[in-house]
Amino acid sequence: MSFHPNDIARRTRITSVGLAVGFVLLLSAFFRAQVLQSESYQRQSEENRLREIPLPAPRGIIYDRKGQIIAENLPAYSVSITAPSLDSLRHSLSQLQQTLQLSDYDINAAIRRYNRAPTRPTVVLADASIDVVSVLEEHRIDYPRLIIQSVPKRFYPEGSIVASFVGYTGEISEKELNLEEFAGYKPGQTIGKGGLEKQYESVLRGQEGQRFDEVDARGRPVTGAGPRPDKDPVGAPSMKTNIDLDLQKYAAAIFTDSLQFSGGLIAIDPKTGGVLTLYSHPSFDSNRFTGGIPAAYWKELQEDPRRPLFNKVIQGTYPPASTWKLATAAMGLELGLVQMNQRMPLPCTGGFQYGRRYFRCWKTTGHGSLTLAGAVTHSCNVYFYQLGLKIGLSKLVGGGIDMGFDTRSGIDLPNEYRPRFPTRDVREYFNRRFGANWSNAETLSMAIGQGPNSQTLANLTKFYTALANEGVASTPEVVSKKPEQKKIMNLTKEQYAGLRLAMAGVTTAGGTAASANIQGLVIAGKTGTAQNPPNKDHAWFIGFAPAEDPKIVVGVFLEYGEHGYFAARVASKIIGRYLGFTGEATVNLEGQ
Amino acid sequence: MRRIVADYPLVITALLLSAFGIAMVYSAGQTDTPTAVARVYKSQLMWLFFGMAGAYGISRSSVRFIEWVTVPAYVLSILLLAATLVIGAGAGTAASTKSWLAIGGVRIGQPSELAKLTVVLMLAHLLASRKDAPKSLLDLWQPAIIVLIPFIIIMLQPDLGTAIVFIGIFFGMLYWSGVPWPLLMLLGSPVVSLILSFSTGMWGAWFLVLLALILYYRPYLVEGIILLAANIATGVVAPILWEKLAPYQQNRLKVFLDPSADPRASGYHVIQSKIAIGSGGVTGQGFTLGTQKRLAFLPEQHTDFIFAVLGEELGFLGVTVALTLFLVLFLRITQISGRANDSFSSLVAFGLLASWFVHVLVNVGMTLNLMPITGIPLPFFSYGGSFMLACWLAVGVLMRISGEGRGKAAFKAS
């Protein structure tokens, strides 16, 4: 042993220094963790024990023009579970099974929600009934991780009546979460999925709040407030629309009660473009979409051949047929090729020979010789064939483009379809479409609204606002705002008046929609029958009233409606209701 | 027997550490969902009193008596250790190991705690009896056997952490007995080889360093060959040893390198421990108020991770106070070793110091992931009756040694 005092002293010194160095090293590691990085660890500690419970904000209430409620929020109860792992969630769900009747669909939906956002409470029932909630409250102690929350639930008092324009809400999907448009959204949040709810999502959304619950390592809530205060949700401001809810209800009632047709209807204030009514039939119940569409209902909607989810007003595009004759007439007048009282060289004998083809008029016995006014009133094809030839194909197409027939109406609703219409380079367009062998007979088709021309009801009705409003077309707007208007034709006052008078003839004795007449009110309008071989023809009517100072433009489209006058009668009822003419007869579908 | 003056710095520091430790054990029991841990501070207090009584008793005996019981005590502890292999039970973080002796299902203690003490005594006895410090590797076979027997039994339990303590004691006491540095390094080389063998490049580099060391120190030829053979052997068997490790031990080592590798299981402990300590900040969240502990995020809060509770609730200031107390204690023991009356006493004191130093370094280091999780308790802090008793018996031994030792002068060479 070397225990010489000097050796001992040296080893004591070395040991002391070694201990001091170890002490300093250890302490410096604690200094780093507790002083330098403390903030990060404090945050992690809070993340450990504070569970953020989102508090959904109520969406903005949607009113009609008179302040009646279209969409509101009702208090509902959502039941959710916080789970540290998928296994734990499955376990909790199977425990819940003992108290609740959960379908496989509910369970799968909950598991999907968990996978999307494991840190947020997983919603099990988005809209639990008060019975379920009271049962759960009784068993509260058995389900420590259950969160029962009062949440605002979207409700549409008129349900399917307003669904065509208001749309619906739903949980944001994984796909949507990845879109730039939804940056800042979190899984599980509700968004507008269609109609106004989608179009004005940013306005209607509101600001989600948060509550912080303190939980232990097993996720069980404990008493004691966290250092972070709760943040209350902020509801979105309400939104006023141009919709006339009474008229909307009336329109829906006509379709549901007395028509067997599917179709669409839009009523616009021609001065402002304000949409008074927009209804597509058959409709769907937006309320059933809230908090997840029941699978059976979704299937039912998908399988209905009348396509309830397909909006006939802004998505259905059909040949405008005779309703387009007004565009041909307006172009002829504007180009000075025709006057209101001017007749065409050939009278109508039920048809028109062009080249080697014979083009029929719808009236096989012929209209005889008509003025432009008469041709509009009686919708004479032969007159418009000749007028079309006078204008020429490229001007017919160019004029149509100027009138907006190749663009969407611009209504403030999502997913509007684009009309089909030739491009300005007519030759190139028809070559591409029909090959080089197309003949000038296309001009005849175009002139009477046939050929490569398909329009939505919304866009066609927009064109009629110009006829009602001295050439100024108003973009249809569901939500009140500054009207967006554009002059699309330049006629004289007399010419506008002449066209209106001719259209007024449509709904009077001898016109194509004489049965749509209302005693004491002049309705100007135009019927159309879109050929739809091999099925039944579609029926159009677009009109406005009073003819001398139009306050409402109504477009009606009936799928397989066969005759324009069916549509005209629907329009006339809407007009009568809106303008306060209550004496009209019920819609009579038998004969003219 | 002569009456001695109590070593106040030693006793007071040990008392302060014990009081601090029991306060932390009490706090560790204060959780939102009460568990059995809420009551353990009482039994810890009881064991403290037993320990203090034992310490007093030892301080009234004599170092000679202690040396006289050394050999039987060592043999007894080895027998008890061996018994654990047959009838051992698990507990706590090491629930799968067999380190406890139980009679009729009641755990009565961990023989390894006793073995730490008896190995120190036995080594001191052996080294003190030699005229010179071991000068060659071959000289070391006796001390090596004294440590290897309990070491191997404990590795078989298996209890890696406690085994590490024995290595600490071994090297510490060899150093104190005057074994030269290079020899210690050569002795330790197979262990380094074992660790580095996981990377071929690193192992190759180590082998070159080793060759340089051997050339510098010039051991006997046989020794040199044995050394190289041992290094190559450990390098070769390392992967096989790794396979032999229990999965939880493999995980603990992997997690030491990267806690996020297994954040829900093995890594969980150390992640939560770091969060607890870091969130304590400078002044801590307040005694008994630590949320990581209170809400049960911190595992083993009254045993292995009691220092994390301290860090969370009393902050950097509390940590500084605790570590300073340990430093004061250790420096005091160093002094006691330095002025002990004889080489046996001196070596015993230094062996106890080495043992405690390894405990503190590994346990405290583990809470910040500076050391792998090994389940070594923190002296005077971690809950555990036999450990508290063992610590205080050691204090008693140190009191006696200090009392018999002389003022500031070192003793003469024996």
**Minimum-distance CB partner of B277 among A1, A34, A48:** A34
CA A41 to chain CA centroid, Å, is 48
Smallest Cα distance from B75 to chain A, Å: 25
Closest chain B CA to residue A224: B32
**Minimum-distance CB partner of A2 among B133, B279, B368:** B133
Between CA B236 and CA A99 the distance in angstroms is 61
B408 and chain A: CB distance < 8 Å anywhere? no
Smallest Cα distance from A210 to chain B, Å: 21
Tell if the CB–CB gap between B337 and A22 is shorter than 8 Å.
no
Tell if the CB–CB gap between A35 and B320 is shorter than 8 Å.
no
Q: Which of A7, A19, A21, A34 to mutate to test the interface with B (most CBs of B within 10 A)?
A: A34
Would you call A124 helix, strand, or coil by DSSP?
strand
Which is nearest to A369 in space by CA: A340, A346, A396? A346
A175 and chain B: CB distance < 8 Å anywhere? no
Most confident option among A365-369, A551-555, B197-201, B301-305: A551-555
Residues on chain B touching A29 (C-beta within 8 angstroms): 365, 368, 370
Tell if the CB–CB gap between B33 and A216 is shorter than 8 Å.
yes
Smallest Cα distance from B172 to chain A, Å: 10
Enter the tokens of residue A188.
């599980």
Question: Residue A587: what pLDDT?
Answer: 44
Residues on chain A touching B278 (C-beta within 8 angstroms): 33-34, 37-38, 40-42, 44-45
Smallest Cα distance from B125 to chain A, Å: 12
Tell if the CB–CB gap between B410 and A214 is shorter than 8 Å.
no
Q: For all residues of chain B together, what is the average pLDDT?
A: 84
Tell if the CB–CB gap between B320 and A214 is shorter than 8 Å.
no
A49 and chain B: CB distance < 8 Å anywhere? yes
If phi > 0 it is left, if psi is from -120 to 50 it is alpha, else beta; for residue B106 that is beta
B280 and chain A: CB distance < 8 Å anywhere? yes
Between CA A146 and CA A76 the distance in angstroms is 16
Residues on chain A touching B32 (C-beta within 8 angstroms): 216, 222
DSSP A440: T
B283 and chain A: CB distance < 8 Å anywhere? no
How confident is the model over B259-279, as pLDDT tens digits?
Answer: 666 666 667 888 899 999 999
Between CA A462 and CA A479 the distance in angstroms is 16
Q: Which of B13, B305, B334, B412 to mutate to test the interface with A (most CBs of A within 10 A)?
A: B334
If phi > 0 it is left, if psi is from -120 to 50 it is alpha, else beta; for residue A516 that is alpha
Between CA A590 and CA B27 the distance in angstroms is 91
Between CA A187 and CA B74 the distance in angstroms is 65
Closest chain B CA to residue A16: B331
Question: Residue A590: what pLDDT?
Answer: 39
Beta carbons within 10 angstroms of residue B163's beta carbon: 22
Tell if the CB–CB gap between A42 and B337 is shorter than 8 Å.
no
Closest chain B CA to residue A13: B334
Between CA B184 and CA B192 the distance in angstroms is 12
Convert A523-580 into a string of H (helix), E (strand) and C (coil). Answer: CEEEEEEECCCCCCCEEEEEEEECCCCCCEEEEEEECCCCCHHHHHHHHHHHHHHHHC
The residue written with tokens 């949440």 in the block is A151
Tell if the CB–CB gap between A12 and B337 is shorter than 8 Å.
yes
Smallest Cα distance from B302 to chain A, Å: 16
A28 and chain B: CB distance < 8 Å anywhere? no
B357 and chain A: CB distance < 8 Å anywhere? yes
Q: Which of B129, B132, B295, B316 to mutate to test the interface with A (most CBs of A within 10 A)?
A: B295
Question: Residue B103: what pLDDT?
Answer: 59
**Minimum-distance CB partner of A42 among B274, B281, B323:** B281
- pLDDT confidence bin for B45, thresholds 50/70/90: very high
Q: What's the predicted TM-score (pTM) here? A: 0.71
Which is nearest to B346 in space by CA: A233, A36, A3? A3
Q: At A353, which helix (H) or strand (E)?
A: strand A351-354
The residue written with tokens 């030739």 in the block is A422
Closest chain A CA to residue B129: A1
Residues on chain B touching A31 (C-beta within 8 angstroms): 316
Between CA A265 and CA A314 the distance in angstroms is 10
Question: Residue B407: what pLDDT?
Answer: 57
Closest chain B CA to residue A6: B410
Task: Spell out the alpha helix ranges (H) of A71-177.
Answer: 86-97, 104-116, 130-138, 163-166, 174-177
Tell whether the model's pLDDT for residue B408 goes beyond 70. Answer: no
**Minimum-distance CB partner of B331 among A3, A19, A220:** A19
Tell whether the model's pLDDT for residue B154 goes beyond 90. Answer: no
**Strand ranges for A41-98 from DSSP E:** 50-55, 62-63, 69-81
- pLDDT confidence bin for B89, thresholds 50/70/90: low
Smallest Cα distance from A480 to chain B, Å: 54
Enter the tokens of residue B241.
């040893």
Smallest Cα distance from A173 to chain B, Å: 29
Amino acid at A319: P
Which is nearest to B12 in space by CA: B395, B412, B397, B352? B395
Enter the tokens of residue B12.
């007071």
B268 and chain A: CB distance < 8 Å anywhere? no
Percent of chain B residues past pLDDT 90, beyond the cut:
43
B179 and chain A: CB distance < 8 Å anywhere? no
Q: At A388, which helix (H) or strand (E)?
A: helix A381-391
Residues contacting residue B36 through CB under 8 Å, at least 6 positions apart: none
Residues on chain B touching A7 (C-beta within 8 angstroms): 178
Closest chain A CA to residue B307: A30
DSSP A34: I
Question: Residue B90: what pLDDT?
Answer: 61
Low-confidence residues of chain A, pLDDT below 70?
A: 1-3, 223-228, 582-592
How confident is the model over B7-40, as pLDDT tens digits?
Answer: 899 999 999 999 999 999 999 999 888 888 888 9
How confident is the model over A25-35, as pLDDT tens digits?
Answer: 999 999 999 99
- Are the beta carbons of B176 and B355 closer than 8 angstroms? no
B296 and chain A: CB distance < 8 Å anywhere? yes
State whether the Cα torsion A117-A118-A119-A120 is positive or negative.
positive
Which is nearest to A122 in space by CA: A219, A266, A229, A18? A219
Task: Find the mean pLDDT for residues B166-182.
Answer: 89
A26 and chain B: CB distance < 8 Å anywhere? yes
Between CA A28 and CA B316 the distance in angstroms is 10
Q: Which of A4, A6, A8, A50 to mutate to test the interface with B (most CBs of B within 10 A)?
A: A8
Listed by number, the residues of chain A in 464-523 with a beta carbon closer than 8 Å to a beta carbon of chain B are none
Instruction: State the first-to-last Cα distance of chain A, in angstroms, to the nearest integer.
Output: 130
Tell if the CB–CB gap between A1 and B175 is shorter than 8 Å.
no
Percent of chain B residues past pLDDT 70, beyond the cut:
88
Tell if the CB–CB gap between B130 and A5 is shorter than 8 Å.
no
Beta carbons within 10 angstroms of residue B79's beta carbon: 10
B177 and chain A: CB distance < 8 Å anywhere? yes
Between CA A64 and CA A53 the distance in angstroms is 34
Smallest Cα distance from B412 to chain A, Å: 6
Tell whether the model's pLDDT for residue B96 goes beyond 80. Answer: no
Would you call A413 helix, strand, or coil by DSSP?
coil
Q: At what angle do helices B200-217 and B221-244 cross, to 10 degrees?
A: 160
Smallest Cα distance from B46 to chain A, Å: 31
